Amino acid sequence: MQAYLDNNATTKPAPEVVDAMNEMLTEQWANPSSVHRFGQQARQRVELAREQVAELIGASPREIVFTSGATEANNLAIRGILAAKPTRRTIITTALEHSAVREPCRYLGDAAGYNVVILPVNVDGLISVDDLAAALDKHGEDVALVTIHWINNETGAIQPLEAIGALCRERRVVFFTDATQAVGKVPVDVAALPIDVLSFAGHKLHGPKGVGALYIGKRVGLVPQQLGGPHERERRGGTENTPGIVGLGVAARLAQAFLQTDGPQIGQARRDRLERAIVDGVPDTVVNSVNAPRLWNTSNMAFPPLESEAILLLLSEKGISAAAGAACSSGSLEPSPVLLAQGVGEAVAHGSIRLSLSRYTTDAEIDYAIATIPQLIQKLQASMPV
């Protein structure tokens, strides 16, 4: 038996996505910039995907730029917005961002002299809108950008996005959100929400890896960062990844259909059942961000003083795929910077594991995880020297 519980790292591509990509690779492989009919057929598929992606998030197709993933979309957003406002030198962000936001901000601070303001967070991993207001007051006209993720990839905590965006609108500051863990899992409507720029990646919503999108609201100034051809309406040079883009379009269509069902509620019931069984079976379990609004698919927990690596290895031997914090940092013994920033303490930051579900997660997988995880943790605890 196996249980794949690492869906925040990546999700299984939907069969419909694979079929569409296969068709693009084997039949519709022309360059969409070519003027011949074959090229224009590929162009039509790319533009259909743009419509599907735009529809999923309530945007207009012209506001969508395809990229090679969320990392590129984040870099384009952050650098592109700053370049459009060269006299403003302050960026406001949080310590809980994915490395694809954290590292560009760190670089811009260290190497380009930007003033990077990192907002404090509470133990549940939420920022306070009052702190954001105070930072906006303090730095005033110098603020070029507020960049705060929507849903945390490690804990599933959901930031007060509407209040953050409304405040940015009021102060006329551009608000960019990395929505990589939100799109396809919760309803997103950029027309109704105060969001200026938003990024996400195909592989978190049962689409392909290596493709993502950036929504750039009509009124937002953004200087392209990847210079080349006039692709993507001169916002991102380079021949389009047609199989990836078409796959992302199909994934967007499927995600939209999923969000119109009770799928998220069913998923949450599965996550809650799993979490409750572990908490009941292992005394002193710590559930991270337990008091925050959380995404229905994520549970992040620690069993101090156990270290996450030992747990993950044993789970892996039992066919259970889980993670410790961000996928990019697992394999190292570094504690999660996100959990450390939340102030959970070293033992919890070193010992936390993340279980993340998807719409493909089955009750049988949850049953197997429930039958395996508490027992395995108890065994590990019993083998600890007192």
CA 157 remoteness from chain centre: 11
Q: Which is nearer to ligand PLP, 30 or 119 (CB)?
A: 119
- The answer to whether the beta carbons of residues 304 and 347 sit under 8 Å apart is yes
To 10 degrees, what angle do helices 263-281 and 363-382 make? 20
Count of chain residues binding ligand PLP (CB under 6 A): 14
Closer CB to ligand PLP, residue 112 or residue 328? 328
| x/- map, 33-72, ligand PLP, by CB under 6 A | ------------------------------------xxx-
Stretch that binds ligand PLP, among 177-185, 278-286, 362-370, 373-381 (CB under 6 A): 177-185
Is 168 an annotated catalytic residue?
A: no
Q: Determine, following the binding rule CB under 6 A, whether residue 161 of this chain makes contact with ligand PLP.
A: no
User: Does position 98 bind ligand PLP by CB under 6 A?
Assistant: yes
* In the complex, minimum distance from the CB of residue 125 to ligand PLP, in angstroms, rounded to a whole number: 13
Q: How far apart are CA 66 and CA 6, in angstroms?
A: 25
Q: Which listed residue (7, 94, 153, 159) binds ligand PLP by CB under 6 A?
A: 153
| Residue 201 binds to ligand PLP (criterion: CB under 6 A) | yes
The interface region with ligand PLP, picked from 13-21, 176-184, 237-245, 355-363 by CB under 6 A, is: 176-184
| CB of 220 vs ligand PLP, minimal distance in Å | 19
Identity of the residue, 30 or 145, whose beta carbon is nearer to ligand PLP in the bound complex: 145
Residue-wise burial string across 118-148, b where 16 or more C-beta atoms lie within 10 A, e elsewhere: bbebeebbbbebebbeebbeebeeebbbbbb
Distance of CA 30 to the CA centre of its chain: 31
Q: Which of 20, 42, 77, 100 binds ligand PLP (CB under 6 A)?
A: 100
Find the distance separating the first CA and the last CA of the chain, reported in whole Å: 33
Q: Name the residue among 354, 289, 366 with its Cα closest to residue 328.
A: 354
Asked whether the CA dihedral 54, 60, 62, 67 is positive or negative, the reply is negative
- Strands 3-4 and 298-302 come out as unpaired
Q: How far lies 336's CA from each of 22, 154, 183, 197, in Å?
A: 38, 9, 24, 27
Site for ligand PLP contains 155 (CB under 6 A): no
* Given the residues 25, 192, 328, 364, the one annotated as active site: 328
Q: Does 154 bind ligand PLP (CB under 6 A)?
A: no
Task: Give yes or no for residue 149 binding ligand PLP (CB under 6 A).
Answer: yes
Question: Residue 75 in contact with residue 100, Cβ under 8 Å?
Answer: yes
60-63 long-range Cβ contacts below 8 angstroms, 24+ apart: 60/218, 62/218, 62/233, 63/190, 63/215, 63/216, 63/217, 63/218
Using rule CB under 6 A, residue 181 touches ligand PLP: yes
CB of 9 to ligand PLP, least distance (A): 6
178 scored as a contact of ligand PLP (CB under 6 A)? yes
Between 314 and 327, name the residue whose CB sits nearer to ligand PLP. 327
Binding residues among 266-325 for ligand PLP as defined by CB under 6 A: none
Nearest approach in angstroms of CB 71 to ligand PLP is 3
The closest of 344, 374, 371, 380 to 95, measured between CA atoms, is 344
Question: Is the peptide bond preceding residue 194 cis, with omega within 30 degrees of 0?
Answer: no
Q: How far is the CB of 298 from ligand PLP (least distance, A)?
A: 11
Is residue 180 part of the contact set for ligand PLP (CB under 6 A)?
A: yes
Minimum Å distance from CB 370 to ligand PLP?
A: 26
Distance, in Å, from the CA atom of 87 to the CA atom of 76, rounded to the nearest integer, reads 18
Query: Can you tell me the distance from the alpha carbon of 76 to that of 352, in angstroms, rounded to the nearest whole number?
Result: 32
Q: Is 7 in the site for ligand PLP (CB under 6 A)?
A: no
Kindly state whether residue 206 participates in binding ligand PLP, applying the rule CB under 6 A. no
CA 373 to chain centre: 26
| Enzyme catalytic residues | 328
**Residue ranges binding ligand PLP (CB under 6 A):** 69-71, 98, 100, 149, 153, 178, 180-181, 201, 203, 212, 327
